[in-house]
Amino acid sequence: MYYPINEIFQTIQGEGSYTGTPSIFIRLQGCPVHCPWCDTKYTWMCSQKENVSVKEIKNKNQANKKWSFLHEKDILRILKKWTTKHVVISGGETCLYNLSNITKTLEEEDYQCQIETSGIKNIICSLNTWVTLSPKENIKPLYTSIIRSNEIKFPIFKKEDLLYVYNILSKIKDKKKRIICLQPISQNEKALNICIKACIENNWKLSVQLHKYLKIQ
């Protein structure tokens, strides 16, 4: 199956439970959610004007709107030049695409898959894929996405954002163990303090976007 790919790179995961884990990021193109604080606005549109060759995507070394369709087998070939075995499929919005083929293909080659999504559509991936759901207030996640998630990471800017967190969590009725993370938006100090306090009170995890502090991709 072919996927619209914006970039593929190796780095350190800076968010959620896998923070600090060497990871290969596969960034998909396309996102209809349009969060105001989005760090990857260049992935929002799948414009034909920006549809470039596979070679150009393979050699990309700066963030931009260019993308190309890659088959999972081509993606696997790219991944093999690196040592990392943890793969993060991010976006853009990953749940726009059926990720069964790519996650299964990667698992057959001993990769651990993680996807990052806002869950606005059904999440279709292998059973072993670690699903990081990051709900956004402007578009609510599907209940099925909440149930499929392994961790839920909430972006927080102000105290009132915690009401949304409590609201989402109050709707979960299953007994599955999920990790709950709070992530201050844009390293804002006030937001960070709100998150620290709420994490300690509720036994949640703090997700600080480590890559931003390390100044890496």
Does position 35 bind ligand SF4 by CB under 6 A? yes
Q: Using CB under 6 A, pick the residue from 66, 136, 148, 153 that binds ligand SF4.
A: 136
Report CA dihedral (63, 68, 73, 77) to the nearest 10 degrees: -40
38 forms part of the interface with ligand SF4 (CB under 6 A)? yes
Separation of alpha carbons 160 and 6, rounded Å: 34
**Contact call for residue 30 and ligand SF4 (CB under 6 A):** no
Of the CA atoms within 13 Å of residue 55, those in its CB half-sphere come to 0
Residue 97's closest CA among 123, 116, 120?
Answer: 123
Closest approach of Cβ 31 to ligand SF4, in Å? 3
In 3D space, the residue among 98, 109, 75 whose CA is nearest the CA of residue 6 turns out to be: 75
Q: Does 27 bind ligand SF4 (CB under 6 A)?
A: no
Residue closest to ligand SF4, measured at CB: 38
Site string for ligand SF4, 86-125 (x = CB under 6 A): -----xxx------------------------x-------
Give the one residue of 1, 2, 20, 34 binding ligand SF4; rule: CB under 6 A: 34
Q: Which is nearer to ligand SF4, 72 or 93 (CB)?
A: 93
Phi, psi of 62 (to 5 degrees): -150, 150
Q: Is 145 in the site for ligand SF4 (CB under 6 A)?
A: no
**Around Cβ 197, how many Cβ atoms within 10 Å?**
13
Minimum CB distance to ligand SF4 smaller for 105 or for 168? 168
On the CB side of 183, CA atoms within 13 Å amount to: 27
Residues that bind ligand SF4 (CB under 6 A): 31, 33-35, 38, 40, 43, 91-93, 118, 136
